[in-house]
Each structure stands twice: as C-alpha cells, then as structure tokens.
Amino acid sequence: MNQRTALPPLSACEPPLPVRTRTRFATGILALLLSLLGLWMSFDLRSYPCEYAFHHGIDSPVLAVELASNANELKTAISPTCANKPDLSPAEAQKEARSVLFRDTVADCFFIPLYALFVWSFGSLFSIRADGSRLSLSRVLAAIMIITALADYVENIGIFRSLVVGPSDAIAQLTCWPSRSKWILLGVALLLTAVILLRSENTIYSLATRRLFSIAYIASGALLIAGVWLPVLVGLALVLFSLIALFQIAALLGPYMAGWIPADTPTYEDDFCERKRTKKADLAVHE
C-alpha cells in the first residue's frame, strides 16, 4: 500500500507556505488590469491642451466635468480659454479638450466594471471567519458596488451629452448628482472593506498586513465621502486608492511569480550553541 509521506513541520523561523486560490489570483489580475488602464487614462489626460483652472480648485478636467453643478463650472473644463497657449484659437482649444475628455469617458466605460469587480472580489476574498464561514458583509458590498457602477454609467451619459451639446445647467445637474452618489457609495464600499479586513481571519495576509490595508481603505473612503463637499479631496482619495491597487498586485500575485524569481532560502544551524562553543560556526542563519 502506498503511504503518503508526512511533511516535516516548518521551523518557527520559516514563513508559512503561501495560500493560492482562484479568487486570490482573479483579484490580483483585476488589480493589474485596473492599474494598467488607470495609468493609460492618467497619461492620456496629459494631452489636455489648457492649464488647469477649474472650479473649486479641482486639478483634473475629468473631475471638473463630473462635479460641475452649473453651466459656468462645466464650461471651465469642456470649453477652456487656454490662456497659457495664446496661439491656440478658442475653437481649437475646445476641440482638443473635448477630444481628450471623450477618450477618457470611453475608457471609463471599461474602467467601471474593473474597479467594481476588484472592490467586491477583494472584500469577498477576506470575508472569512475563523470557523470558515463567510461574513454577510460581502453581500452588502456587492449590492453597493452594483449601484455605484450604475451611477457611474449614468454620469458618463451626462458627460457624453455635455461634449456633444455643450455646457448647460440641466446637463451639469444630470452629471453631478450621479457623480456625487458614485463617490459617496464608493467611499462607503471602501469603509465596508476596511471593516471586513478587521474582522477577517483569512490567512492570505497576516494580521498586521490586514490592519495596515484597513487603515488605507478607511483613509481613502473617508476622503471620497468628504470630497463631495470639498472636491479637491477626491483627487487625493483616488491617488491613495491607486496605491492600494498597486500594492495588491504584488501582494496577491507574488506567490504565483515565485517560480520565476527563485527564493533565497536560508539555512538554520540547529546546534548553533554547541558549534559556536567549538568555534565551528559564527552565525545561526546563513545563505
């Protein structure tokens, strides 16, 4: 009869074996795709032709369009004057600005399912108690992200209309209210994810790592919610969320890349004290 050979117990000095699951891998891939598309959108916005002179001190033409509550605020982003480029006519400036905003909005239609799936998938991954049962908060998180994505698509409809028809109070209202709802809901989702991390017993991350990420989620979620009243905070929240996604790529996909980057496993001297006494060893751990 074939008998399974028992694996020797790990030394107290050695790290635990990595936990590989399909959900972990899928969440890592979502973080990677989300980051790649987000980086492209960020670099493409650099081709916006005019200086950033938007309402409420906002430093992004996209956020300026999303959070504009009237035609004058909307006009600062989609019909800029380009004082920094006197050789550029108003018509050319408007054409270039709207072209950049149109490309970003089209890309955002693909970005929406990526960030919605990533936030839900990450929360679901860690919705595990010590006894293996699942936290019901993952269902609440799923519902919030579905509503958030729908609000984001309604917002994009308003942006497309503003780019075609031009700025007006009605179009600004059609865009800003779904946008504000989206940011509040996304902020609530990030705060809920922080709660999930604090209650999670999933061994994919250590307790210290879960707590550190929960702090980052709390900060990003709080800034998003506050940004509805102080729009400049939305940009800061998005930078923080982008950093979270980048860290998740390495943290979630790291074990799957271990074969490509062989680990340098140290050797432990079990009888170090005796070998030290006889001057046969100077270090308890060596490569």
Reported as a pLDDT band with limits 50, 70 and 90, residue 2 is: very low
Q: What is the pLDDT of residues 249-284, one digit of tens each?
A: 999 998 887 666 665 655 555 665 656 556 555 555
Does pTM top 0.85 for this prediction?
A: no
Q: Which two tokens stand for residue 179?
A: 């946008």
pLDDT confidence of residue 87: 77
Q: How big, in percent rounded to 5, are the helix, strand and coil portions of the chain?
A: 65, 0, 30
Q: Distance of CA 42 to CAs 39, 250, 266, Å?
A: 5, 21, 42
Query: Does residue 9 carry a pLDDT above 70?
Result: no
Q: Distance of CA 161 to CAs 98, 101, 124, 173, 248, Å?
A: 11, 12, 36, 12, 36
Rounded to whole angstroms, the Cα distance separating 121 from 111 reads: 15
Q: Which two tokens stand for residue 148?
A: 């958030």
In this structure, what are the phi and psi dihedrals at residue 234, rounded to the nearest 5 degrees?
Answer: -60, -45
Query: Looking at residues 111-123, what average pLDDT do you find?
Result: 96
In this structure, what are the phi and psi dihedrals at residue 262, rounded to the nearest 5 degrees?
Answer: -55, 135
Reported as a pLDDT band with limits 50, 70 and 90, residue 240 is: very high
Query: Looking at residues 33-56, what average pLDDT do you find?
Result: 91
